[in-house]
Structure 1
Amino acid sequence: MRWSQAFIPTLRESPADVESPSHRLLVRAGFIRRLGSGLYAYLPPGQRSLLKIAGIIRAELGAAGAQEFFLPLPHRHSVGRDTGGPARSGDGLSSVEDRSGPASAADIPHEAAFTELFRREIRSYRELPQVWYQIHAGLCDELRLKPGPRRLRQSLRMDSCSFDRDPSGLDRSYRLHYDLLCRTFTRCGLKVDTVEASSAGTDCSQSVDFVVRMGGGEDCVISCSCGYAANLECATSRISEVADEPACGAPRRVPTPGQKTISEVAAFLGAPATHQIKSLVYIAGDKPYLFLLRGDHQLNEAKIRAFAGNMAGRQARPDEIRELFGADAGSLGPVGISGMPIVADYALRGRQNMTCGANQDDFHLQGVTPDVHFRPVWADLRAAEPGEDCSRCGRPLGMYRATRIGYLRKLATASRESGAATVLDAEGKQVPVAVGNYGIDLERILSSVVELCHDDDGIIWPGTIAPFAVVLTPVNYRESVKAAADKLYEEMQGAQLEVLLDDRQERPGVKFKDADLVGIPYRVVLGAEKVSRGQAELFERASRKTELVDLASVIPALQSRLLGSVPV
């Protein structure tokens, strides 16, 4: 490829709407351009890198015996329900409607489509195991859109499903994918952590995320030196017990004029936050829920989604709260409430003589004891906090930010009646198969590498996913230098090196700055004086080291360096 013919629109300055280093550099280096909110076009350099990531994934999956599919984006609305998969409806479902008939769903999970194919085509346990995958652009129901290619309306991803005879077979497929995902990320130049993940919104018996640590990551991970690590959405911790005064009779109604928040009530009544009950009202599936926590704890919304059957939920509006309780938020409590589930966090179990709202504006109740004055369902609702004790070893927990780039899920085994995939076993009986679900986000790999591998001059790509392996830069593309550059360019192409010849009529400084910005791993510089001596400069982008090599040795030198940089 000649730079004069390539579309690599580099920018000297950063656009005003960029936030992260990866976003800034991918735009400036001509890899991406924004087309709309959460929508980015990948320009030729970005597409070349994405294709290399996809090639690594295909190589790893192919070596493991996986088979590639191409699934349509829209599916029948009934696919998820028919196959025992998520039967999403309402807020999170995109529909496609045409003149041919019923509407189709545009974001039915891939495992539902794979499962429907499995049900139609696979009959016997002798045909197992099967591992099926696709690499495709999928729609994302992303509520927290951010500038840059990490939280998007569409993403390029690999989705894989394994079908096994029994749980032990699923364990083997799970481990197979764990190993191949680790190798994939290593080959792409990333060091990853594996953390426990939330299963909210899915039907999983085990869930693990692969994350990359970075200061600007969208996710928070709670971790301990003992090895425990979990996404904040599902992390647990130990908390110290709180001593209560003994309960004494019925709750006492006390005036609290204008006192709405936990801290205001604590100051007014002298009741510490640890001795108060926080009441939060959510609507899930058009049904109200009352969630209760200790006053100093925060609600984990992923945990309440899991409790409510993975239905999309939202906080109740002020008018809905007034209609349900006869009072405004800040004066709510569980005593005397009926007609809705009351769900209390485990930290309230065994407590007594606590303070909560009286369901009347400007009044609270004191002396409230759970399981005496109200009967809740108990669940894990609170968000773990750094500094709390690890639930495994008791040491203090820490927290770091990270970005998720892959996942592993063991789907809960469904019954035959639920419509799940089944096969005939050795005795001729229909039995459900064990299903695993696995994924990689290619665009997040790309942006994570840039976020972690850059300097003031631009991107520093690992050789495995760089758009080009080497840029050939003649200082002045004319006369003897042009002849030497053209000859070396043809020889590099013949040696199967991915070379970009910078044949532009630009100043050397402009060429060098662009090459550094794009992040091509090696640069071969040809100047008139060195060409006359039969030499060239070989520059390594990562180390910024330069050495003189004979023109005849340039290709062997590049081949040895590129081979040595490929993780296996």
Structure 2
Amino acid sequence: MKLDKLVGERFRERPAGCVIESHALMVRGGYMKGVANGIFSQYPPLRRVTRKLEQIIREEMDAIEGQEVSMPVVLPGALWEESGRYVSVGSELLRFQDRTGTPMVLGMTHEEAAVQLVREYGRTAARYPFMIYQIQTKFRDEARPRGGLIRVREFTMKDAYSFHTSQQDLERYYARCHRAYERIFARAGLPEVVSVASDSGMMGGSLSHEFMLLTPAGEDSVAVCGACGYRANVEAAACVAHNEPPAVLQPLQTVETPDAHTIEALCAFLHVIPAQCCKAVVYQKETDGSYVVLFLRGDLEANQTKLTNYLGCDVRPAAITPESGLCAGFIGPVGLCGGMTVLYDTSLQGTGNLVCGANRQGFHSTGLQLERDCGTVEYHDFAKLPDGGVCPVCGRPAIRVSRGVEVGNIFQLGAKYTQAMGMRYVDADGTEKTPVMGCYGIGVGRLAACVCEVRHDDHGPVWPLAIAPWQVHLCCLRADDAGTKAAADALYASLQKNGVEVLYDDRTVSAGVMFADADLLGIPVRVIVSPRNCAEGCFELAARDKTVKEKAPLAKAVQAVQALLRRLEDEAAAQVPPRL
């Protein structure tokens, strides 16, 4: 491929609205172009990257007996009604009607379609286990797309679905798929991706893991224990709070606290610390608008995902009106008006002498002891595990919370979809049973963006060899010099003949422009042919990551390039774990 024919433009200025580096570099480098909010077209360099990622994914899925299929992007709403998700999933699912008035959806995930595809095939136990997968376009109507390809509305995803006759068989296959994911990310140039326990969310199921790339560009929070290695998404991590009950319980008293609407203001006014407070966080159910008041220790934050899972419905931060009966900034558990759901976090268990709202403007109560002052109290885990918190596995205060991007996920779905959609098989003893499922997803575009996010320098991406758009970038300096151009042309032809992917820049531009474009394209091996080098009978060979910069004889150029490519391949292969 010659660079002067490559569709797409490169430029030096940082585009407006590109908050994270991968977004800026992929727009600057001619990789993609925005079409609408969260929707992008791909130029050839990015399409070459994503094709290579797709091939890595295919190879690893095929190695664990996956069979590639293709399912529609547009699906009948009736399929999603079978599973119950047509109603339960929120506005992220794009619903519409076709010209006959039939309800349709754009697939954001394909569990229903997968069951529909194989439920007749899977009628006998002898056909299990099996796994199908596809690499397909999805659409999720994200409220806040961000970060270029990190969070989009339209995206390409590998989604796989396995079917089993027992939970034990599902668990065995789940472990193999977990290892296959580790291999995929390592082969793609991200061996540092880690798996963390996660919340199953709308997917359902008993167990799930997210594969997270820890980076400040991430929007997820990941809890990692520095003592035992425990890792979990903060949404799913149990929050452990140790409380020492006071030696002497104080009576409940009401005190005036003017203008103390926040925990910070209250602590400053009463000279207490946040852990000595019982704070209220108020939500409303999306189903009926009723209020949910959650009480938790004042030094912790509410985990909306845990709350949603407990209630079985979505919630939103409450709009507290005068008619609600709630006194914003001064809400407490004693004397709270009825007609609302009241919940207590486990962080309040075993406490006493707490400060809380008095349900009266400008007043708080001191000396709160929940069991004494509120009667029977039931505690549940609704809090986020904080930085510096107690590890739920080893019990040490060694939790560190980092930002991360989810690049893949796997779920043990159980019989959630097969049961709802009537998929049955006849066992060897003649009885009808319901198979169990696993599902396994990877966002291809997001994976490419994540590689760019952590594999770049100040000048552009540094693509790993396995997914680079081309293997070699051949730069002909002074293409107007006949001898130099002839040497570069001959090397271009020889490299292509030997199966090397080459992008050839023979434009009559300055060295600065040529090298700036080469940096933005991020190709791992750079070959430079110039009049000075030709006079010496050599060429320059360099690695994009600056680990190699040397001269070699032109007569042995192909061998030198191939040797460097083999070295890069061997170094990358050493990072890939073996298959299970």
How does the TM-score come out when normalised to structure 2? 0.90
Secondary structure of 1:472's aligned partner = strand
Report the Cα distance in structure 2 between the residues aligned to 1:417 and 1:537, rounded to whole angstroms. Answer: 63
1:531 maps to what in 2?
A: 534
Secondary structure of 1:204's aligned partner = coil
Q: What is the one-letter code of the residue matched to 1:450?
A: C
Alpha-carbon shift at residue 54 of structure 1 (Å): 0.8
1:55-100 alpha-carbon deviations (Å, 9 max, x no partner): 1111111222211122212222232341466753443331132213
2:361 maps to what in 1?
A: 361
Tell me, yes or no, if structure 1 residue 53 matches structure 2 residue 53: yes
2:456 maps to what in 1?
A: 454
Which range moved further: 181-190 or 514-523?
A: 514-523
> How has the CA–CA distance of structure 1 residues 489 and 314 changed in structure 2, closer, same or farther, with 3 Å as cutoff?
same
1:205-262 alpha-carbon deviations (Å, 9 max, x no partner): 111111112233222211112111111212234333133365578x555544443223
Q: What is the one-letter code of the residue matched to 2:451?
A: V
1:389-423 alpha-carbon deviations (Å, 9 max, x no partner): 22222332222222211111111434976335332
Secondary structure of 2:328's aligned partner = coil
Secondary structure of 2:446's aligned partner = helix
Residues 342 and 375 in structure 1, CA contact (< 8 A), matched pair in contact too? no
Tell me, yes or no, if structure 1 residue 380 matches structure 2 residue 388: no
Residues 464 and 524 in structure 2, CA contact (< 8 A), matched pair in contact too? yes
Tell me, yes or no, if structure 1 residue 183 matches structure 2 residue 190: no
Alpha-carbon shift at residue 438 of structure 1 (Å): 1.0
Secondary structure of 1:513's aligned partner = helix
1:464 maps to what in 2?
A: 466
The number of residue pairs the alignment matches comes to 564
Alpha-carbon shift at residue 352 of structure 1 (Å): 4.0
Residues 331 and 363 in structure 1, CA contact (< 8 A), matched pair in contact too? no
1:481 maps to what in 2?
A: 484
Moved over 6 A (4+): none
Report the Cα distance in structure 1 between the residues aligned to 2:568 and 2:530, rounded to whole angstroms. Answer: 27
Alpha-carbon shift at residue 314 of structure 1 (Å): 0.2
Report the Cα distance in structure 2 between the residues aligned to 1:86 and 1:299, rounded to whole angstroms. Answer: 28
Residues 414 and 420 in structure 1, CA contact (< 8 A), matched pair in contact too? no
- Any stretches of 5+ residues in structure 1 without a counterpart? none
Which range moved further: 218-227 or 273-282?
A: 273-282
Report the Cα distance in structure 2 between the residues aligned to 1:539 and 1:375, rounded to whole angstroms. Answer: 72
Which range moved further: 25-34 or 143-152?
A: 143-152
2:506 maps to what in 1?
A: 503
> How has the CA–CA distance of structure 1 residues 387 and 177 changed in structure 2, closer, same or farther, with 3 Å as cutoff?
same
Which range moved further: 492-501 or 88-97?
A: 88-97
> How has the CA–CA distance of structure 1 residues 219 and 336 changed in structure 2, closer, same or farther, with 3 Å as cutoff?
closer
Secondary structure of 1:458's aligned partner = coil
1:513-550 alpha-carbon deviations (Å, 9 max, x no partner): 21122111112222235435543222222235332323
Residues 484 and 531 in structure 2, CA contact (< 8 A), matched pair in contact too? yes
Tell me, yes or no, if structure 1 residue 39 matches structure 2 residue 42: no
Alpha-carbon shift at residue 120 of structure 1 (Å): 3.6
Report the Cα distance in structure 2 between the residues aligned to 1:82 and 1:550, rounded to whole angstroms. Answer: 68
Report the Cα distance in structure 2 between the residues aligned to 1:431 and 1:521, rounded to whole angstroms. Answer: 53
> How has the CA–CA distance of structure 1 residues 477 and 544 changed in structure 2, closer, same or farther, with 3 Å as cutoff?
farther
> How has the CA–CA distance of structure 1 residues 2 and 461 changed in structure 2, closer, same or farther, with 3 Å as cutoff?
same
Residues 111 and 417 in structure 2, CA contact (< 8 A), matched pair in contact too? no
Report the Cα distance in structure 1 between the residues aligned to 2:447 and 2:418, rounded to whole angstroms. Answer: 38
Residues 422 and 432 in structure 1, CA contact (< 8 A), matched pair in contact too? yes
Alpha-carbon shift at residue 562 of structure 1 (Å): 1.9
Aligned-pair identity in percent equals: 31
1:186-214 alpha-carbon deviations (Å, 9 max, x no partner): 11111211111122333121111111122
Q: What is the one-letter code of the residue matched to 1:480?
A: G
Matches within 5 A, 1:113-512: 113-190=113-190, 191-225=192-226, 226-244=228-246, 252-268=253-269, 272-284=273-285, 285-286=287-288, 287-309=290-312, 311-319=313-321, 322-333=322-333, 335-372=335-372, 373-395=374-396, 396-414=398-416, 418-419=420-421, 421-478=423-480, 479-512=482-515
Report the Cα distance in structure 2 between the residues aligned to 1:449 and 1:417, rounded to whole angstroms. Answer: 39
How does the TM-score come out when normalised to structure 1? 0.92
2:12 maps to what in 1?
A: 12
2:523 to 512, 517, 520: 520
Report the Cα distance in structure 1 between the residues aligned to 2:256 and 2:527, rounded to whole angstroms. Answer: 80
Report the Cα distance in structure 2 between the residues aligned to 1:209 and 1:513, rounded to whole angstroms. Answer: 37
Residues 201 and 306 in structure 1, CA contact (< 8 A), matched pair in contact too? no
- Any stretches of 5+ residues in structure 2 without a counterpart? 574-580
Q: What is the one-letter code of the residue matched to 1:504?
A: R
Residues 425 and 432 in structure 2, CA contact (< 8 A), matched pair in contact too? yes
Report the Cα distance in structure 2 between the residues aligned to 1:538 and 1:175, rounded to whole angstroms. Answer: 42
Residues 460 and 519 in structure 1, CA contact (< 8 A), matched pair in contact too? yes
Report the Cα distance in structure 2 between the residues aligned to 1:335 and 1:74, rounded to whole angstroms. Answer: 52
Report the Cα distance in structure 2 between the residues aligned to 1:31 and 1:87, rounded to whole angstroms. Answer: 38
Q: What is the one-letter code of the residue matched to 2:60?
A: E
Secondary structure of 1:565's aligned partner = helix
Q: What is the one-letter code of the residue matched to 2:382?
A: L
Secondary structure of 2:203's aligned partner = coil
Tell me, yes or no, if structure 1 residue 549 matches structure 2 residue 552: yes
Alpha-carbon shift at residue 360 of structure 1 (Å): 3.5
Report the Cα distance in structure 1 between the residues aligned to 2:152 and 2:419, rounded to whole angstroms. Answer: 37
Tell me, yes or no, if structure 1 residue 565 matches structure 2 residue 542: no
When the two chains are superposed, the root-mean-square deviation of aligned CA atoms in Å is 2.5
Alpha-carbon shift at residue 48 of structure 1 (Å): 0.9
